[in-house]
Amino acid sequence: MSLLQVEGLGKSYDSETKVLKDISFEVGSGEFVSIIGPSGAGKSTLLRCINRMVEINEGKVMFDGQDVGELKKRELRKLRTNIGMVFQHYNLVPRLTVIENVLHGRFGYKTTMQGILGRFTEEEKEHAFFLLKKLGIEEHAYKRCDQLSGGQQQRAGICRALIQEPKLVLCDEPIASLDPNSSKIIMDHLKSITTELGITCLVNLHQVEVAQDYSDRVVGLRKGEIVFDGPTRMLHGDQINNIYGSEVRELITV
């Protein structure tokens, strides 16, 4: 059974521009799926519709049997505990320590007062250190996040998403701001962690070769529409050209 079902999804920010047009696809539990496409194709908007960071205009998103667009505020907050998010620019609080930022991933399980007072259980703290160790940044736990490199900050962001114990992790261009070595480390961790923990991963990428190396399946977006959806092994030159158009030469030569 599919964990995520997107049916006829449409999104506009104004009356003239339609960012997403009739998007339909499913993601099964445990799948590692990459969404690729040129800048402006609608990749980030699609992820933000899935966890309703932006409102859905048309169609529906079904996650774990629930219609995301129909949920009230409290129900949506509960649903988001099952959907972790990893951002391109980390979205950490720079002045706080790594461990504090990671534990912020548990806020969805807390009352407002517990969150303000930073009341976390010993079990939650142990889990946070387990994740930091797994991603190789345990020694940085008490450093401020603004003292870390970009790759280290992204690993902290992944830990924050994973401490929610989500069923699905959404990654919005997680390696776009990183050098090739840091990018490989991040993708290796995403792949191994999601495989070991049985978490479904949906990741936006601009780099075709990275999607080919790590994904079970690729969804190609162009101008807000799906122009490819299939196993990674089926993604060849013609399909890549159809997704990226004139940009494909830049991708090949970079």
Q: Is 236 a domain residue?
A: yes
- Write the CATH number for 68: 3.40.50.300
Residues 86, 233: Cα–Cα separation, whole Å: 26
**167 C-beta neighbours (distance < 10 Å), count:** 18
144 & 171 share domain: no
Q: What is the pLDDT of residues 55-102, one digit of tens each?
A: 999 999 999 999 999 999 989 999 999 999 999 989 999 999 999 999
Residue 224 maps to a domain: yes
Mean pLDDT of the chain: 91
**47 and 65 together in one domain:** yes
Domain count, the chain: 2
Same domain, 178 and 253: yes
66 and 115 belong to one structural domain: no
Is residue 137 located within the same domain as residue 239? no
The residues, ordered by sequence, that sit 6+ positions from 214 with a Cβ below 8 Å of its Cβ are 32, 34, 187, 190, 191
| 8 Å CB contact between 107 and 161 | no
8 A C-beta contact, residue 26 and residue 4:
yes
The number of beta carbons lying within 10 Å of the beta carbon of residue 16 is 6
Asked if the structure places residue 71 within a domain, the reply is: yes
Q: Tokens at residue 7, please?
A: 């049916």
Domain containing residue 153: 89-165
| Residues 252 and 178 both lie in one domain | yes
Which residues have a Cβ under 8 Å from the Cβ of 16 and sit 6 or more positions away?
A: none
Taking only the tens place, the pLDDT of each residue in 183-211 is: 999 999 999 988 898 999 999 998 899 99
Is the confidence at residue 112, as pLDDT, over 90? no
